[in-house]
Amino acid sequence: MKSYDYLVVGAGFFGAVIAERLANELGQRVLVIDKRDHIGGNCYSVVDKKTGIEFHKYGTHIFHTSDRKVWDYINGFTEFNGYRHQVLTTYRNKTYQLPINLETINAFYDINLKPYEAEKFLKAEIAKSKIKNPKNLEEKAISLVGRRLYEAFIKEYTIKQWKRDPKKIPAGIIARLPVRYNYNESYYRDIWQGIPLRGYSRIFERMLNPENINVELNTDYFQIKDLIKVKKKVIYSGPVDRFFDYTFGKLEWRTVSFQKEIINVKDFQGTSVMNYSELKVPYTRIHEPKHLHEERNYAGNKSLILREFSCEDHGEDPYYPIPDKRNKNTYKCYKNLMKKEKKVIWGGRLADYEYYNMDQVISNALSVFEKIQRNQL
């Protein structure tokens, strides 16, 4: 029977960061397993063989953070390009900026307001709907941006994404909808942003490179757990409900699927992500990954695009937790069981049943490592 100090389940950011720290800082022998055939979890990037264009298999990932500790840590494994994310949306054959900004308002209403006029204008639009206490997502969104903008950019997109009528989604799902009364087009406000110069997968290769880390892919924890001797702890970043054999039922996720296509033009849409807000367009977004690396100047007159579809979770690839009452209660039940597993350390999006950005996961993993280092875990 093989023996390790730590067994790390999942080679995404949560598992990889802890494994790297345990190996490099504490000299521990670590086995990292992943049931997929690659490292990197949902951040995995790969080069398309036909076009040479690198793409993110599980959806476009933009690194952004204002956390100095995370930024310093990740820069030990990669440099970043200067990419700044911008999101555009197509509605009735016209293209608009998102989040809603001054350009969106002026283009949509065919006016030319200044920032101070736009704010007043939108308030008047919102007042028309006379909603005082929004009871559902639809009413909440209208109370934030007015009915016309809601119907153009939010209503049908939400139906496509969640497969639910916005009137049946609790108002609490959205606390606010960002509206900018200027021409700022940058999607994120974080201090540091970009795409790893040599792709995400290279980061994981470097993190998991130390000699005292072994990586085994195509390896499901539940099939090998009795074959490995773990001296200290199991770091588990897989789905929590699976760990407990679905004792309290399944936690639900919304998932997405991607349809890849090579297009015979150099530039298909002029940007990395284009949303489609209308229900009659079956996909929610089109990704064109060559725009994530303008510094590479990809040669050739072809481009790669990925159409994104929102779909039911069949247990294969969970993407977004659905934090409704039932799921929250189910998770609470699992949480009680988790506390009793003294040999397991939990973390990452699947074990915490949370949507995290990459920087949050890295920050959480660094905190867990520090607790291990101080013998608090």
Ligand X SMILES: Cc1cc2nc3c(=O)[nH]c(=O)nc-3n(C[C@H](O)[C@H](O)[C@H](O)COP(=O)(O)OP(=O)(O)OC[C@H]3O[C@@H](n4cnc5c(N)ncnc54)[C@H](O)[C@@H]3O)c2cc1C
Contacts with ligand X by CB under 6 A lie at 9-15, 33-36, 41-43, 58-59, 61-62, 220-222, 237-239, 256, 319, 348-350, 356-359, 361
- Tell me phi and psi for residue 68, to 5 degrees: -55, -40
| Shortest distance in whole angstroms from residue 37 CB to ligand X | 10
Cis peptide before 239 (omega within 30 of 0): no
Which amino acid, residue 283? Y
Give Rg (Cα) of the chain. 23
Q: Is 176 helix (H, G, I), strand (E, B) or coil?
A: coil
| CA distances, 99 to each of 43, 82, 86, 185 (Å) | 24, 21, 9, 8
Nearest of 187, 172, 164 to residue 87 by alpha carbon: 187
Q: Please, are residues 215 and 32 in contact by the beta-carbon 8 Å criterion?
A: yes
Return the residue matching tokens 């897989």.
238
| Shortest distance in whole angstroms from residue 204 CB to ligand X | 10
Q: Closer to ligand X at the Cβ: 94 or 343?
A: 343
| Shortest distance in whole angstroms from residue 351 CB to ligand X | 8
Q: Please, are residues 151 and 145 in contact by the beta-carbon 8 Å criterion?
A: no
| Shortest distance in whole angstroms from residue 222 CB to ligand X | 6
| Shortest distance in whole angstroms from residue 43 CB to ligand X | 5
| Shortest distance in whole angstroms from residue 252 CB to ligand X | 15
Give residues with Cβ within 8 angstroms of 107, minimum separation 6. 94, 96
Give residues with Cβ within 8 angstroms of 115, minimum separation 6. 102, 181, 182
Q: Closer to ligand X at the Cβ: 14 or 334?
A: 14
Q: Closer to ligand X at the Cβ: 44 or 96?
A: 44
| Shortest distance in whole angstroms from residue 116 CB to ligand X | 33
Other Cβ atoms less than 10 A from the Cβ of 259: the count is 11
* N-terminal to C-terminal alpha carbon distance within the chain: 25
Other Cβ atoms less than 10 A from the Cβ of 360: the count is 17
Q: Record the tokens describing residue 292, joined without a space.
A: 């994530």
Q: Closer to ligand X at the Cβ: 12 or 146?
A: 12
Q: Closer to ligand X at the Cβ: 147 or 242?
A: 242
**What whole-number distance in Å separates Cα of residue 206 and Cα of residue 191?**
25
Q: Closer to ligand X at the Cβ: 43 or 304?
A: 43
| Shortest distance in whole angstroms from residue 16 CB to ligand X | 7
Q: Closer to ligand X at the Cβ: 43 or 345?
A: 43
Q: Is 201 helix (H, G, I), strand (E, B) or coil?
A: helix
Q: Closer to ligand X at the Cβ: 65 or 143?
A: 65
**What whole-number distance in Å separates Cα of residue 147 and Cα of residue 337?**
45
| Shortest distance in whole angstroms from residue 217 CB to ligand X | 9
**What whole-number distance in Å separates Cα of residue 371 and Cα of residue 179?**
40
| Shortest distance in whole angstroms from residue 266 CB to ligand X | 25
Q: Please, are residues 176 and 137 in contact by the beta-carbon 8 Å criterion?
A: no
Q: Closer to ligand X at the Cβ: 146 or 348?
A: 348
Q: Closer to ligand X at the Cβ: 135 or 343?
A: 343
